[in-house]
């Protein structure tokens, strides 16, 4: 059977080398008299919290480690599951020195640390993790940071007088009288300290429990010379009774059944015991009785000055393991006792004695089954060894490989690189040196106390800045060396190499100093073993099975084999065969030269074939000088019962893909267990440890596979020589399998050693955008991981374990842990399986594709390309998936053509590979349909990144392979249309639109097409396209869209009416074109105020009339737009009539639209449109020529209002035209004209003056507004008043009616203004209606004018001047009757008669009229008689 010896390896925590410290200084008031005389050793230790193996304990996987140096103690808390903040505390004791280690105890809600100095004892109190956070921490994310127990520590808490006591030894001489001590916290909370004084006495200090009012009690114990009654018989007779120095070298306190016991080792090589309760001496054990007789007598009797005692408490205080390290001049050994308390007596039982190794013991501890030791060898190298102390196991030291010191030698000369690049890569490789080490090296290198400007905040220094600081320091030193002198290139390179080597040496010195071991501790519950060093902490983990076969001489136990390789079962013979194979591989490893190994790895990096690359190593072993090695290997193989089977077994063990972590049944699983594993090894420290173990395992197994391939290559040679007999050897199959394993493990090694880089933010955002488009889940903790990349070195594996990989591993961990337990020895049960699970996730032949997805999600684009390159020629698993993610990287890096090639090459495995199937969400099994869906995903990607030409290419490709009934065809046509349109290819977009088989999508595309062409002002193209083919006719839809767009658009910004007009004219639909322009004009009036609006409206009406006149005369009409009027015809200028339809109801207001449809339809002909145009034109002229723009811009005027405005503006021509067009009275216009004539005549300085004044200047302006006025008229008249009167005369001649009402209007207005009527007007008025003129004279009291007019009119009827009154005949026999205005004449006579007595002139007028009237009556009588005679005769 296999042996049960466990091999361990060390892993360092790089995160603990770059931490910040909380500083506290304590001054107890004690004094030292000779401080420089004695120097205490630096000590270190650790403490694991209780319940560290409980799944739901807040102390799970959590511990404290400490260091002491002179007067400084450093306390650090570490959690492997949660990230802590403020977890490092540094306490400095002013003018004091720490004499012993620290005792840490959990007491209720506190964590108590007890320590002793040369002048005082201290009890340090911290909050217990359970008091800071309970079970709810397991609900937090793994990136959450929680407070440490040291987070809220302050000087006030530490220096509480109740928690420290200054020691008084009497005599005032306290300096260094105390040289050893220990502390213990009893169950009742009392702190007990045992201090060893140089005079051989023991000082007991009791500090009362917290909250009690007692004070510290100090008691002195002096050694007794009387031997204990139960120990006297154990002393060998050889030394019984001899006197020796009994000074105490080391002291310890331990709880036993009888109470707290003081244990002390003395210089006389005895272990003495006292009760700390009654201070009674309990007895002594002679430690030399277990020293073999072979040890020289002189060494036995020399006395020990370096004896060290350690204890281990057994359960229920029934038994205590006591281990004593005996240090002599030339020998050392460990003696271990089991002391039990029985029947009131302490009974010691010797368990074992172990000799130490050649070296200096640094620290050790004892557990129930093992003793662990930490040494410094004579070479200065650290060494860790352990031995089993149980009786049935062999007791021999087993060495644990620890991390080796950094090699100072670097081969820079033979490398084709610049020394600066070589050294920088080495210094910053894998975080080899912490930022603290590098900064100290800079300070030492510059020989300055202010070398950097970072101070103590080195943990937050970005790596780029730190690297720049290093370069600046070295280059400054080089420049100082060169100075102003000229230097040859070879000399400069040599100087550069010298300075970089010097700086590198500084880094190594500080690194080695920080790696100096100080202490060792363990947590038996979880299996944790820690090594505390000067600046970091290391951990020992159980060696994996393959590593034990390859590195050690003893095979692993059955339990370990099952742990690492579940599902494998081996018998005893197969274990032995593996041991033989392991010895052969070690011989081969020792023969492989470093240069050969490096060349082999470089060949793999360049994608070489392992079968070809290994030949160099095989040739080395086949060399004559190595014949003895080959012979030894052949002899070893002959000891194996089945060499081929051993190779096959080891090959299977190496194949991670064969590991199975099957999920347990639902009945066996416990929900609490599942939830409790979400944070296992999830902190930065935990992940760093896992990553380093992963790297060590990958490197070892890579070497195993490599050496195994060498061995297989040697087998034919051995068989041919007859030195070995192997049946059934299939060399090609084995070399192929081993070559595959070598490549896989090289990949694991590569990902655990390659540093992650911080990509640009835009590139990471592009990837997140792609994931969202593809429907892939986003990667967890992306922000925190990207932040970490800017602050510290992380490998690709660490990035993976921080995110997706860690989550997957913890999910699988639930499958292997016992479901019925709430505890887990994490370092024994979980750690190595988690490493194997992580390897399985990265293993290229295991489906799942988690690792490459993680590289993409966390922005490791260059690494992903390297990853794909490493797998390109030999890994057939997930080939297309790798191509796809590489395409994602190219796309995010703005290389779309490379991305397209990758995506296309991945298309053929869409239905095969798990990753591609996962984001496709397949709902069908049709290959072509699935491929089309894949291309649609790609199209969406390229669309989001704005590559329309590639979208078109993909869409056309997908369209060509799609079936005719594929439901995605309309989508593909739409994609082609959209992106062709985006690129400005209007014709191609039109063809894609017309080719779309889906009518709804075709209409959507048409709407977008029209909108884009309008926005690009490609109106000619829009109008010229036919919008129809043999199947489809989209012209009605085009019109509908454009009309809808016209109605909804803001006319101040956009105009689709002109486009519609051109569209209809192009298709000879003139009536529809006219209707569009009329609608446009109606909307403009209400929406576009001002001059421009009127101009556009006028053009609309003109275009409307022009279109109607071009059409068929039978169709020269349009339907007026639906308005808000219920019935009747709207007058031009009516606000409601001119409101556009969109203002009356919304498009989605179905009820409103139905109501509008029921209203009466009004048909407009060209005449009606001309009327509206005339009003608009008048408004336009008013805006252009007058100052009434603000009024017109704000209001809509009726025709009669417009006439009034035109009249006021002096634009009489237009006013008269509007009156004629709308059948309006012209009275107001004539009134305006006559008033202007009167004002102008009155305003001229002289009727005969040729010079114009302000009145006449203004008159010339408004006179020119009227077309009736001409320059010829102006020249003829010469004066503005004359022109105005002439203009009035022309208007009367043109527009006067038979009734003469406009003459009456003019006359009435003039007479009202007291202005005499011009002669030409009187002549005109006499001919039209003299009687009316007479009446006006009478009404205005113009009796003289009325008398003259009446006289003239009477005479005209009598035949004298009848032509001046427009009479056709006069009074004579046979003529038609002649009418006189008798009433007016009677009123005139009466008025004259009233004034004739008062005024002679009126008397003359009266006489004149009366006589003329008498003559008329005479003539009337005569004519009447003659007429009667004629009638009788006829």
Convert the pLDDT of each residue in 1063-1078 to its tens digit.
999 999 999 999 999 9
Specify the residue for token string 């109501």: 1155
Distance CA 233, CA 1151 (A): 118
Tens of pLDDT along 1295-1344?
998 888 899 999 999 999 889 899 899 999 998 998 899 999 999 988 89
Question: Confidence class of residue 246 from pLDDT cuts 50, 70 and 90?
Answer: low
Helix H or strand E segment including 255:
strand 248-256
Distance, CA of 138 to CA of 919 (rounded, Å): 31
Distance between CA atoms of residues 1392 and 1386, nearest Å: 10
463-482 and 435-446 helices cross at what angle (nearest 10)? 20
Task: Using the structure block, give the residue that is written with the tokens 């030193």.
Answer: 477
Pairwise CA distance, residues 328 & 355, whole Å = 12
Instruction: Tell me phi and psi for residue 607, to 5 degrees.
Output: 65, 30
Lookup result for tokens 């051993």: 646
* pLDDT of amino acid 1022: 92
> Around 1296, how many Cα atoms within 13 Å sit in the side-chain half-sphere?
21
- Checking if the pLDDT of 979 tops 90, the result is yes
Long-range pairs for 863-872: beta carbons < 8 A, 24 or more residues apart: 863/751, 863/754, 863/756, 863/757, 863/796, 864/889, 865/889, 866/750, 866/754, 867/747, 867/751, 869/607, 870/604, 870/605, 870/607, 870/743, 870/746, 870/747, 870/750, 871/747, 871/844, 872/607
CA–CA distances in Å: residue 425 to residues 432, 505, 760: 10, 15, 22
Q: Which residues pair with 124 in a beta bridge?
A: 113
Coil vs helix vs strand at 78: strand
At 1146 the pLDDT is 42
pLDDT tens readout for residues 992-1015: 999 999 999 999 999 999 999 988
Neighbours of 901 (CB within 10 A): 15
Q: Is the dihedral of CA 170, 171, 172, 174 positive or negative?
A: negative
Look at 1292 and 665; give whichever has higher pLDDT: 1292
Measured CA to CA, the distance from residue 451 to residue 61 in angstroms comes to 39
pLDDT class of 1276 with cuts at 50, 70, 90:
low
Rounded to whole angstroms, the Cα distance separating 170 from 803 reads 62
Residue 1228 in contact with residue 1204, Cβ under 8 Å? yes
Number of residues that make up the chain: 1434
Distance CA 818, CA 172 (A): 62
Side-chain half-sphere exposure of 140, counting CA atoms within 13 A: 17
Is the confidence at residue 225, as pLDDT, over 50? no
Reported as half-sphere exposure (CB side, CA atoms, 13 A), residue 1274 has a value of 13
**pLDDT tens-digit series, residues 1349-1367:** 999 999 988 888 888 888 8
Give backbone dihedrals phi and psi of 131, rounded to 5 degrees, phi first. -85, -20
Contact assessment for residue 1166 and residue 1206, using Cβ atoms and an 8 Å cutoff: no
Angle at 1051 between CA 1047 and CA 1057, to 5 degrees: 60
Helix, strand, or coil (residue 988): helix
Residue 443 CB contacts under 8 Å (≥ 6 apart), including other chains: 449, 451, 452
Distance CA 146, CA 177 (A): 43
Return the exposure string of 646-676: e unless at least 16 CB atoms fall within 10 Å of the residue's CB, then b: bbebbbebbbbbebebeeeeeeebbeebbeb
* Alpha helices by DSSP H, 552-626: 558-564, 572-591, 594-605, 610-613, 615-621
The answer to whether 1127 touches 1160, Cβ cutoff 8 Å, is yes
Residues in Cβ contact with 423 at an 8 Å cutoff, skipping those fewer than 6 apart:
410, 412, 500, 501, 503, 504
Three-class SS state of 150:
coil
* CA 1110/CA 202 separation, integer angstroms: 128
Compute the distance between CA of residue 699 and CA of residue 1419 in angstroms, rounded to an integer: 154
For 1249-1260, what is the mean pLDDT? 66
pLDDT tens digit sequence for 321-362: 899 998 877 788 899 998 888 777 888 888 888 888 888 899
Please give the C-alpha separations between residue 153 and each of 264, 513, 934, 1298, 1367, in angstroms, as whole numbers. Answer: 34, 29, 59, 118, 131
The DSSP call for residue 638 is: H
Conformation bin of residue 904: beta by default, left when phi > 0, alpha when psi is -120 to 50? alpha
**How far is Cα 67 from Cα 533, in angstroms, rounded to an integer?**
9
The pLDDT score that the predictor gives to residue 1180 is 86
**Residues 554 and 393: beta-carbon distance below 8 Å:** no
Residue pair 1370/1338 in contact by the 8 Å Cβ criterion: no
Tokens standing for 685?
Answer: 């420290």
Instruction: Tell me what pLDDT residue 549 has.
Output: 82
CA distances from 583 to 3, 551, 594, 617, 690 (A): 16, 9, 20, 18, 28
Residues 490 and 790: beta-carbon distance below 8 Å: no
Q: What pairs with residue 12 in β-bridges?
A: 538
CA distance 480 to 794: 35
Other CB atoms within a 10 A radius of the CB of residue 888 amount to 26
Taking alpha carbons only, the member of 813, 902, 812 closest to residue 852 is 902
Q: Give the pLDDT of residue 267.
A: 85
Integer Cα distance of 47 and 744 in angstroms = 40
Give the pLDDT score at 778.
79
Given this model, what pLDDT does residue 1261 score? 80
Over pLDDT 70: what percentage of the chain? 84
Question: pLDDT value at position 1396?
Answer: 84
- Whether pTM > 0.85 for this model: the answer is no
Per DSSP, the three-state class of 278 is coil
pLDDT, residue 669, reads 43
**Higher confidence at residue 1271 or residue 156?**
156
Alpha carbons 202 and 180: distance in angstroms, whole number = 10
Can you tell me whether residue 1348 is helix, strand or coil? Answer: helix
Share of the chain above pLDDT 90, in %: 30
Q: Is the pLDDT assigned to residue 228 strictly greater than 60?
A: no
Six-digit token pair at 32? 């030292």
**How does pLDDT run across 128-162, given as a tens digit for each residue?**
998 887 667 777 777 788 999 999 898 888 888 88
Q: What is the DSSP letter of 158?
A: H
Q: What is the pLDDT of residue 13?
A: 80
Reported confidence tier of residue 671, pLDDT bands at 50, 70, 90: very low
Nearest to 1259 by CA among 1282, 1225, 1290, 1292: 1282
The sheet carrying 370-376 orders its strands as 360-366, 370-376, 382-388, 398-400
Using CA atoms, how far apart are residues 953 and 951, in angstroms rounded to an integer? 5
Give the lowest-confidence range in 191-195, 202-206, 234-238, 832-836: 234-238
Q: Give the mean model confidence (pLDDT) for residues 548-575.
A: 68
Longest Cα–Cα distance in the chain: 207
Q: Quick one: which of 984, 987, 994 has its CA closest to 1035? A: 994
Give the pLDDT mean for 418-443: 81
Closest by CA position to 754, among listed 687, 812, 695, 670: 695
Residue 1165: in which H helix or E strand, if any?
strand 1163-1165
Beta strands in 790-838 (DSSP E): none
* Lowest mean per-residue pLDDT among 19-33, 136-150, 931-945, 1118-1132: 1118-1132
Average pLDDT, the chain: 82
- CA end-to-end span of the chain, whole Å? 175
Q: Is residue 387 over pLDDT 80? A: yes
């Amino acid at each position: 059977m296999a042996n049960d010896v466990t091999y361990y390896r060390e892993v360092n925590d790089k995160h603990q080398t770059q931490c910040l410290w909380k500083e506290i200084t304590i001054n107890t008031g004690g004094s030292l008299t000779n401080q420089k005389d004695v120097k205490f050793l630096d000590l270190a230790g650790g403490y694991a919290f209780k319940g560290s193996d409980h799944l739901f304990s807040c102390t799970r996987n959590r511990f404290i480690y400490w260091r002491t140096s002179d007067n400084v103690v450093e306390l650090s808390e570490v959690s492997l599951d949660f990230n802590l903040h403020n977890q490092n505390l540094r306490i400095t004791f002013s003018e004091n020195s720490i004499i012993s280690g620290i005792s840490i105890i959990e007491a209720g809600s506190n964590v108590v640390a007890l320590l002793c100095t040369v002048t005082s004892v201290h009890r340090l109190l911290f909050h217990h993790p359970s008091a800071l956070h309970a079970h709810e921490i397991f609900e937090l994310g793994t990136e959450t940071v929680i407070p440490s127990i040291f987070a809220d520590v302050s000087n006030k808490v530490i220096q509480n007088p109740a928690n420290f006591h200054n020691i008084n030894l009497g005599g005032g001489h306290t300096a260094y009288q105390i040289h050893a001590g220990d502390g213990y916290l009893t169950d009742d909370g009392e702190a007990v300290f045992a201090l060893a004084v140089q005079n051989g006495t023991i000082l007991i200090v009791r500090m009362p429990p917290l909250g009690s009012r007692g004070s510290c009690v100090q008691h002195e114990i002096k050694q007794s010379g009387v031997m204990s009654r139960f120990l006297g018989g154990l002393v060998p007779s050889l030394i019984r009774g001899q006197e020796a120095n009994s000074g105490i070298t080391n002291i310890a306190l331990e709880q036993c059944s009888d109470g707290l016991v003081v244990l002390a080792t003395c210089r006389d090589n005895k272990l003495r015991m006292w009760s700390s309760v009654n201070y009674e001496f309990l007895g002594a054990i002679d430690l030399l009785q277990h020293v073999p007789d072979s040890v020289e007598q002189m060494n036995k009797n020399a006395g020990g000055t370096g004896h060290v005692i350690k204890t281990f408490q057994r359960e229920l205080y029934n038994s205590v393991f006591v281990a004593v390290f005996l240090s002599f001049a030339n020998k050392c050994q460990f003696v271990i006792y089991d002391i039990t308390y029985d029947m009131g007596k302490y009974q010691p039982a010797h368990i074992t004695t172990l000799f130490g190794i050649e070296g200096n013991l640094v620290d050790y501890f004892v557990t129930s089954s093992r003793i662990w030791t930490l040494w410094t060898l004579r070479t200065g190298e650290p060494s860790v060894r352990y031995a089993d102390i149980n009786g049935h196991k062999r007791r021999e030291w087993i060495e644990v490989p620890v991390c080796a010191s950094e090699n100072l030698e670097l081969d820079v000369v033979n490398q084709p690189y610049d020394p600066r690049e070589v050294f920088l890569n080495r210094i910053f490789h894998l975080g080899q040196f912490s930022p603290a080490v590098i900064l100290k090296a800079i300070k030492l290198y510059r020989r300055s106390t202010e070398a950097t400007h970072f101070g103590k905040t080195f943990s937050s220094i970005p790596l780029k800045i730190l690297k720049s600081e290093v370069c600046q320091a070295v280059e400054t030193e080089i420049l100082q060396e060169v100075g102003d002198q000229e230097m040859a290139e070879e000399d400069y390179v040599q100087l550069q190499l010298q300075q970089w080597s010097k700086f590198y040496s500084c880094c190594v010195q500080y690194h080695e100093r920080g790696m100096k071991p100080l202490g060792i501790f363990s947590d038996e519950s979880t299996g944790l073993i820690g090594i505390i060093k000067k600046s970091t902490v290391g951990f020992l983990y159980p060696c994996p099975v393959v590593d034990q076969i390859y590195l050690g001489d003893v095979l692993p136990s059955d339990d370990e084999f099952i742990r690492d390789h579940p599902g494998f079962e081996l018998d005893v013979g197969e274990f032995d065969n593996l041991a033989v194979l392991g010895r052969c591989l070690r011989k081969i490893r020792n023969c492989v030269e470093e240069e050969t190994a490096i060349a082999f790895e470089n060949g793999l990096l360049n994608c070489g074939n392992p079968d070809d690359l290994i030949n160099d190593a095989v040739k080395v072993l086949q060399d004559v000088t190595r014949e003895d090695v080959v012979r030894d290997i052949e002899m070893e193989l002959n000891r194996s019962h089945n060499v081929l089977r051993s190779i096959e077994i080891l090959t299977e063990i190496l194949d991670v893909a064969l590991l199975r972590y099957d999920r347990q049944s639902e009945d066996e699983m416990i929900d609490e267990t599942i939830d409790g594993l979400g944070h296992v090894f999830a902190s930065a420290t935990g992940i760093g440890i896992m990553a380093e173990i992963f790297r060590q395992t990958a490197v070892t197994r890579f070497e195993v596979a490599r050496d195994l391939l060498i061995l297989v290559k040697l087998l034919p040679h051995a068989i041919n020589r007859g030195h070995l007999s192997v049946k059934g050897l299939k060399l090609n199959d084995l070399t192929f399998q081993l070559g595959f394993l070598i490549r896989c493990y090289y990949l694991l090694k590569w990902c655990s050693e390659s540093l992650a880089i911080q990509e640009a933010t835009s590139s990471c955002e592009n990837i997140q955008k792609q994931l969202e488009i593809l429907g892939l889940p986003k990667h967890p903790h992306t922000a925190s991981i990207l932040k970490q990349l800017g602050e510290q070195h992380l490998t690709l594996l660490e990035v993976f374990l921080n995110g997706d990989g860690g989550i997957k591993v913890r999910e699988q961990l639930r499958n292997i842990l016992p479901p019925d337990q709430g505890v887990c020895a994490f370092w024994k049960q979980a750690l190595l399986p988690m490493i194997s699970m992580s390897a399985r996730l990265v293993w290229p032949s295991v489906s799942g594709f988690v690792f490459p997805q993680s590289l993409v999600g966390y922005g490791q684009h260059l690494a992903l390309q390297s990853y794909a390159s490493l797998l390109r020629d030999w890994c057939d698993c997930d080939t297309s998936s790798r191509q796809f993610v590489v395409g994602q990287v190219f796309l995010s890096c703005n290389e779309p053509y490379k991305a397209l090639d990758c995506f296309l090459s991945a298309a053929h495995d869409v239905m095969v590979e798990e990753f591609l199937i996962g984001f496709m969400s397949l709902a069908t099994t049709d290959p072509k349909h699935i491929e089309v869906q894949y291309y649609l995903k790609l199209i969406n990607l390229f669309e989001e990144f704005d590559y329309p030409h590639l979208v078109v290419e993909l869409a056309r490709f997908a369209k060509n392979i799609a079936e005719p009934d594929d439901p995605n065809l309309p989508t593909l046509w739409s994609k082609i249309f959209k992106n062709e349109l985006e690129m400005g290819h209007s014709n191609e977009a039109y063809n894609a639109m017309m080719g779309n088989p889906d009518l709804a999508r075709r209409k959507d595309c048409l709407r977008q097409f029209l909108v884009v062409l309008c926005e690009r002002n490609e109106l000619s193209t829009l109008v010229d396209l036919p919008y129809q083919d043999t199947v489809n006719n989209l012209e009605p839809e085009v019109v509908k869209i454009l009309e809808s767009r016209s109605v909804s658009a803001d006319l101040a910004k956009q105009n689709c009416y002109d486009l519609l007009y051109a569209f209809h004219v192009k298709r000879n639909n003139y009536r529809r074109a006219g209707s569009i322009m009329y609608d446009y004009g109606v909307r403009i009036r209400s929406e576009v105020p001002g001059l421009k609006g009127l101009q556009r409206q006028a053009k609309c009406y003109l275009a409307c009339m022009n279109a109607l006149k071009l059409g068929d005369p039978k169709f020269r009409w349009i339907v007026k737009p639906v308005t808000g009027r219920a019935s009747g015809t709207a007058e031009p200028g009516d606000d409601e009539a001119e409101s556009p339809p969109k203002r009356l109801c919304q498009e989605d207001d179905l009820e409103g639209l139905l109501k509008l449809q029921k209203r009466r339809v009004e048909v407009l002909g060209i005449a009606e449109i001309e009327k509206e145009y005339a009003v608009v034109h008048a408004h336009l002229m008013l805006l252009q020529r007058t100052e009434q723009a603000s009024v017109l811009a704000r209001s809509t005027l009726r025709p009669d209002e417009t006439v009034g405005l035109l009249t006021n503006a002096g634009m009489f021509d237009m006013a008269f035209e509007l009156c004629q067009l709308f059948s309006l009275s012209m009275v107001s216009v004539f009134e305006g004209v006559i008033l202007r004539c009167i004002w102008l005549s009155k305003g001229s300085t002289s009727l005969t003056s040729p010079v114009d004044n302000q009145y006449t200047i203004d008159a010339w302006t408004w006179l020119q507004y009227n077309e009736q006025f001409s320059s010829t008229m102006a020249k003829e008249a010469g004066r503005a008043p004359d022109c105005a009167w002439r203009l009035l005369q022309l208007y009367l001649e043109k527009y006067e009616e038979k009734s003469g009402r406009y003459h009456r209007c003019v006359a009435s207005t003039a007479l009202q203004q007291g202005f005499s009527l011009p002669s030409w007007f009187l002549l005109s008025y006499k001919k039209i209606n003299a009687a009316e003129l007479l009446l006006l004279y009478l009404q205005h009291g113009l009796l003289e004018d009325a008398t003259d007019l009446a006289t003239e009119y009477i005479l005209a009827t009598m035949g004298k001047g009848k032509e001046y009154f427009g009479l056709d005949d006069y009074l004579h026999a046979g003529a038609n009757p002649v009418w006189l205005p008798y009433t007016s004449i009677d009123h005139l006579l009466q008025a004259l008669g009233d004034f004739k007595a008062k005024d002679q002139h009126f008397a003359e007028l009266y006489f004149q009229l009366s006589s003329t009237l008498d003559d008329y009556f005479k003539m009337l009588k005569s004519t009447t008689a003659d007429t009667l005679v004629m009638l009788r005769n006829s």
